[in-house]
Structures are given as structure tokens and as C-alpha cells.
Amino acid sequence: MESKILALKVNELDNVATLFSNDGDLGHSVEIRDQKGASTFLNLKNPIPYGHKIALIKIETGVPIMKYGEEIGVAVKDIEPGEHVHIHNMDSQRGRGDLNTAVEG
């Protein structure tokens, strides 16, 4: 019996979902469920580990990565639907003192 690969889209603003399966290999189909109970399917473009993010739509360079309805980072290169979203293609914007542009006077 083939195991079902599931991912959860937490908020309607999200452009990524979290994978809840250890079987996230290239080419496998993933069922994406949302908070309203709707589901869609997407094929994986690369292996994705349990608990990691999958792009739901094309995310262009510079576009915010949205999870839980909040911006968790920004794409540092174009990301295609079904691709793994992690530190290799996104940059976190949280808690970074180097991004503070305020000038003390």
C-alpha cells in the first residue's frame, strides 16, 4: 500500500506548506490541505524532509516567504511550485540586527 504524503497550508496568505511525511521524494505527489478542509495536489521537484516547507506557487526572488500568515523570510532566488523552501533559497528576516537601517542621531 502506498503511503499518503501530506502537507499543511496553515493560513490563506501562505505561499508554502509544511510537509508531514518522511516519504517526500522527487516526483511524488503531495496532498496539500488547508484550514478549511480543502485539498490540492502538487508534485515534488526535489526531496523534502519531514517538517520542511514546500513552495505552493512560484515565488520570485525578493518575494516574502509566507507561513502561518506571517512573513518568515524572503526568496533569494526564484522558487518553483513543488520545490523545497529552506536556507538554500530563502533568507530569514527575523531578529537580524544587520538589517536595522535606523540611524542614531
Taking 50 as the threshold, does the pLDDT of residue 37 lie above it? yes
What are the strands, taking DSSP E only, across the chain? 6-9, 16-19, 29-34, 39-43, 53-55, 64-67, 70-75, 84-85, 90-91
**pLDDT score recorded for residue 79:** 98
**pLDDT score recorded for residue 1:** 38
Task: Report if residue 102 sits inside a domain.
Answer: no
CATH number at 80 reads 2.30.130.110
pTM: predicted TM-score of the whole model, two decimal places: 0.84
Which is more confident, 80 or 94?
Answer: 80
**pLDDT score recorded for residue 20:** 93
Task: Report if residue 1 sits inside a domain.
Answer: no
Task: Report if residue 38 sits inside a domain.
Answer: yes
For 43-73, how does the pLDDT look when each residue is reduced to its tens digit (9 = 90+)?
Answer: 999 999 999 999 999 999 999 999 999 999 9
Give the C-alpha separation, 11 to 89, whole Å.
Answer: 21
For 23-36, how does the pLDDT look when each residue is reduced to its tens digit (9 = 90+)?
Answer: 788 788 999 999 99
Report whether 79 contacts 42 (CB < 8 A): no
Task: Report if residue 42 sits inside a domain.
Answer: yes
Task: Report if residue 104 sits inside a domain.
Answer: no
Task: Report if residue 101 sits inside a domain.
Answer: no
With H, G, I as helix, E, B as strand and everything else as coil, classify residue 99.
helix
Give the domain extent around 43.
6-96
Task: Report if residue 103 sits inside a domain.
Answer: no
Work out how many domains the chain is built from and give that number: 1
**pLDDT score recorded for residue 24:** 80
Task: Report if residue 66 sits inside a domain.
Answer: yes
